[in-house]
A = this chain, B = another copy of it.
Amino acid sequence: MSKPIVFVSDLGLRDEFVGVCDAVMARIAPASRVIHLSHGVPPMDIVAGALMLAQALPFSPDDAVALGIVDPGVGSARKPIAVETGSGRLLVGPDNGLLSLAWQALGGARTAVQITSDAVLLTPISPVFHGRDVFAPAAAHVANGLPMARLGPPVDVETLVAIRIREPVVDRRRIETEVLDIDRFGNVRLSVRPEQLAAAGFEPQEALELATTGGGARARRIATYGDVKVGEVGVLVDAWGWIAVIRYEASAAELLGARAGDPVWIVPAV
C-alpha cells in the first residue's frame, strides 16, 4: 500500500511550484495521500522548516514519508538525500540541515543515500527546481514502496549537515534566549521551555520582564490566549511546548521590536 507524504516547503502557494510537485507525486504514487504541512516557511529559513518537520511528524501517520523543500543551495554541490531514522521514518530533502531536527527527534539518522538514480530523477533536471525533478519524485517512489537504497549510493550519516536549536543560557533568575519564530498573529516564540524558567528560579505565576535590543515588556504568565487582557502582554506555553509571548489582538513582535534570531533576556519583573 502507498504511504502518505508529509510535505513542508518555503515555496508558497501563489505560484505553481507546490502544485507541480503535487502533480509529479500523483503521477508516480496515485494512491499516496499528500499532507501539506505548510508552504509558508519564510523563504530559505532552514531552521523554521526543520522545526516544523520535527514537531509535526509525531502527529503524522507512522508510515508517512517526510518531504522537505527549503533549498537555498538548489543546483549547487549540496546533496539531495533520503534518510532513514532510527525509528524507521523516511525523510527526503536537501542535505542542508532541513531534515536534521526530525532525525534527531526520531532515533537519529540510521542510513542515508544520495538521490541519483535515473529511474527516479525527472530529466533534464532543472538546476533551479529540484523540488519537481528530484525531491518530489524520490518521495513518491519511496512512498510507493521503492526501497530507499534504490534511490542512489549510500552516504555516511556522519557527514550529513545537522543544525541545532540554540539552547538558552540559564542563570539564577536570568535567562538569555532568542526568538525562534513569529507566527502570523505576531506571537513571538522563544527558544526556551517552561522547565528552564523553573530551573532559573522563576515561580510558576511570577511576572517576567522581557528585554530585547528593540524594546521590552512586562509579561504575565497565562495558560491560554483568552487569559490575556487588553493592553497586556502574556507569556504562555505554546502547542509545541515553547514559551511564547502574546498580546490581546495585537502583535507582540511589534511591541518587542523582535525578529527571528534576535536575543531576548528574561529577568524578574519589577
Which residues on A are within 8 Å of B, measured CB to CB?
Answer: 4, 6, 8, 12-16, 18-20, 22-24, 26-27, 30, 33, 35-40, 43-44, 52, 55-56, 59-62, 64, 72-76, 122, 126-129, 132, 183-185, 223-227, 236-239, 249
Contacts and interface: CB of A to CB of B under 8 A. Distances in A.
Interface of A is mostly: loop
Given A76-B226, A127-B224, A239-B129, A37 B61 contact: no
B4 A30 contact: yes
A128 B238 contact: yes
B23 A38 contact: no
A128 B241 CA distance: 10
Given A13-B13, A75-B223, 16 more contacts: A4-B30, A13-B38, A13-B39, A14-B38, A14-B184, A18-B38, A19-B38, A23-B60, A26-B35, A26-B60, A43-B185, A44-B249, A74-B225, A126-B237, A127-B236, A128-B239
A185 B13 CA distance: 12
Contacts of A74: 224-226
Contacts of A73: 226
A24 B58 CA distance: 9
A23 B43 contact: no
Given A12-B184, A75-B223, A75-B226, A35 B61 contact: no
A119 to B, nearest CB: 17
B23 A6 contact: yes
B33 A236 contact: no
Contacts of A35: 19, 22-23, 26
Contacts of A236: 127-128
User: Taking each of A15, A64, A75, which has the highest tally of chain B beta carbons within 10 Å of its own beta carbon?
Assistant: A15
Contacts of A20: 37, 56, 59
Contacts of A61: 23, 26-27, 30
Contacts of A26: 4, 33, 35, 60-61, 64
Nearest to A15: B183
User: Taking each of A20, A60, A73, which has the highest tally of chain B beta carbons within 10 Å of its own beta carbon?
Assistant: A20
